[in-house]
Structure 1
Amino acid sequence: MQLTDTAWAARPYGEVVDLAEQDGSVLVVPVGSLEQHGHHLPTATDTLLADAVAHEGATRTDAPVLVTPPVWTGLSPHHMPFGGTVSLEREDLATLLEGVADAALENDFDALLFLNGHGGNAALVESVRASVGADHPQAEVSSLTYFALAEGFADEIRDSGVGGAGHGGEFETSLMLHLHPDLVDMDRAAGTAMDEHYDLARQDLFVGGPLAVYREFTEYSESGAIGDPTLATAEKGTELFDRLSDELAGLYGAIHEHNRE
């Protein structure tokens, strides 16, 4: 959890209320996970990355934006066989996110964005976006999985082919080498290229089809990582983080402008 000027948790309550009451105010709720990411990355990888990009995007805009502490666990039943994973039931995660939103929006924010960092959360976060939006018609409620912002430029940075930027692969490992190099053990970096049976299913973080299939991760990888983390570098992570943050700052600004009275 980052305690910067963009953090709700770092401000006295009066400052939270004052910012929320600004015209076009935006609240961001990062949603991560606590799950295995192979032998070389920490279990909090998804939470750390969603939290970091949420805050950096907020520092790059003049819009009134606050970021809550991240929700550190999500839907990760497919990772449970490896151990080191905490996964909530769908109903419990939905109740948690709805409860956070219900209470936070009492402070009169004009917009709320759920910023997801774990692919397994995506469908539920979208469902919660709809339920919270219906319950709070006075606020605009949206959701986004942050790494989708890189789909337009990831190929300019990555060296791996399709299948190399999966769970714990080149993309996430590069970001972690930039943000938290002390938590990355490149001597243990190993992954398995995504080998999906169906052409219509997702092949990579940035190459996906319309078909979704549930499988435990042991069917994809012995190490728990998918992709090629050995191609990751801090330099790639720096560029990815910079461009992701710029994209998110632009979104914050657009949400702010759209919700000004």
Structure 2
Amino acid sequence: MKEKFLIWDLDDTIITTYPEFEKSNTLCAEIISRELFGDVLQVNDILNRQRMIDISLIEKYGFLPPRYEQSWLTTSAEYFKEHGMMSNDALQQEIKEVVQDIYIRKYENVPGSVEVIQQLKNEGYSMAILTAGDEAVQKRRIEQSGVAEFMDETYVYPYKTPSTLRTVMDRHGHNEYAMIGNSLKSDIYPALENEIMGIHVVRDTWQADHYEIDLAHPLYKPVQDLSEIPNVLSESKEFTFK
């Protein structure tokens, strides 16, 4: 029997991205609020509007940069229209610069991510990364994180589904798999649908990651810290991986 194959999510599993998006979101909301109202008192309302628009655009754009930028430009246009004003070019450019910065900045690693991945590699696990987003952006982030050398392969899709996970599994032909990630919808649901272990790295995250799953499923393994993963794997030999 071939060794277990671990498939890792990237964002908010290996590197920390959600707090960075929240910072950029707040900056964009403040830009709009100050221009329209002269203060930042409307920031929360603007943030709520953008989140709904952003999620509504996932089906069209996936998790690619144009979706995020469009969500903020649409939010800005709606607010200005509702208040009888026209959004000026300078303001739109300021928003675009804030949005684009999210794709070029360097992100901090989740504490312990490199150390845990190196430990698992030393223990004989083969690994790959399956992430959603722009291929060039995501592969640069993987290189910057320092985990590329431990991975057999990296896969980038506009979004992740049970079928994309199955595609990755079929390319490697192992007998045992586990998916490790923070998103119930993009990581754990696909794992359980494919009858493989889903190790859920519990994190605060945005609505698009939420999903109703069977928390009593024997292949659902929640962890609060990455350091728990080696023990979860070693103690779960009684579970059948498909």
- TM-score, normalised with respect to structure 2: 0.34
Q: Determine which structure has the larger helix proportion and give its number.
A: 2
- TM-score, normalised with respect to structure 1: 0.32
